[in-house]
Homo-oligomer: A and B are copies of this chain.
């Protein structure tokens, strides 16, 4: 015997999207996809589930613990419900679309599921939308993708976004240059992640410690932060990466003057996937980041290609998109002029048909939340 649950009860972290938010989400996804498609990104739609080997191999391994698995009764193999799109897009690019000319621009939107939420974000189902530029190395591709993320959000109504640039691989470059032993890296990385200057000084040798502390302090608006970083004595490989980041910031500024750029070179949490520059997008009013992206290798390791892309987290995007003005609602009495009603709908009105011919149209309109009744000449305001 199972104790019976109230029918309205949903599992923790899963929820019903209700009007008007469900409508606003669909409309915003649509605006974002239309925008990126205008830049040549073509839409693909990977399946919700696929063999776990493909979904969780290579770069996907990091999400293995977060992935719902089901047995496929047809093949008797395990399948996973996608926890993210990026691995699937890389698979499509490097297999099905391997003969398409490069760079290959792809976009997507849909649902992802995670086994567990976090304390900060209990949700386990997310709407993601994104764009990936595959088969192109170099800063022009990175600048295109970062500016595209910002402009797509602006087109959807997010006008005060901030882009935070970072170098998730820089810490390992510095560790290599300073000969930090593998065993010492996790502790030192945690100290850097928490910006715990005392712990950094304690764990690192004096030269590396001074360098890390200087970099931890050199965060904020891009121009100032990059100037501060330029003054830090860095090993040559690290200096080259920082110089590339400064070049990228200059390209972004040239393409979209006035975009708010910040820099936090050592920020690396959640960017394990990336092989070069990483970035996050923030906006006032949104809980957490609106988008995350960066440079990575697309596709299975044996057929990988350079790629750069971003993923929008629609929950956070919707927090930052202004509420839409609801369409005016009209009640059309039984026997109304159907052609007139359709013309109004084409002009953006919502026209409900009354089902009950006997009911008083004005009272019905008020009851159904309509501000108008359809008369012979058009909508007539009620009350």
Residues of A within 8 A of B (CB): 2, 4-20, 22-23, 25-26, 30, 33, 35, 37-40, 42-51, 53-54, 57, 68-70, 72-75, 77, 79, 81, 91-92, 94-97, 101, 103, 105, 109-111, 113, 115-116, 125, 136, 138, 140-141, 144, 255, 299-300, 303, 329, 334, 338, 345-346, 349-353, 355-357, 367-369
Contact = CB atoms under 8 A, between A and B. Distances in A.
A7 B300 contact: yes
Contact of A23 (B11, B37, B125): B37
Of all A-B residue pairs in the complex, the 10 with the closest CB atoms, nearest first, are A17-B45, A8-B95, A38-B345, A40-B352, A19-B42, A14-B47, A22-B45, A140-B355, A7-B300, A23-B43
Contact of A5 (B12, B20, B54): B54
5 contacts: A11-B50, A16-B46, A48-B113, A48-B125, A105-B352
Contact of A22 (B6, B43, B105): B43
Contacts of A144: 353, 355
Nearest to A15: B47
Contact of A92 (B16, B49, B303, B355): B16
B44 A19 contact: yes
A103 B94 CA distance: 50
B39 A72 contact: no
Nearest to A256: B338
Contacts of A57: 7
Contact of A7 (B10, B95, B115, B338): B95
A4 B12 CA distance: 36
A18 B2 contact: no
A16 B47 contact: yes
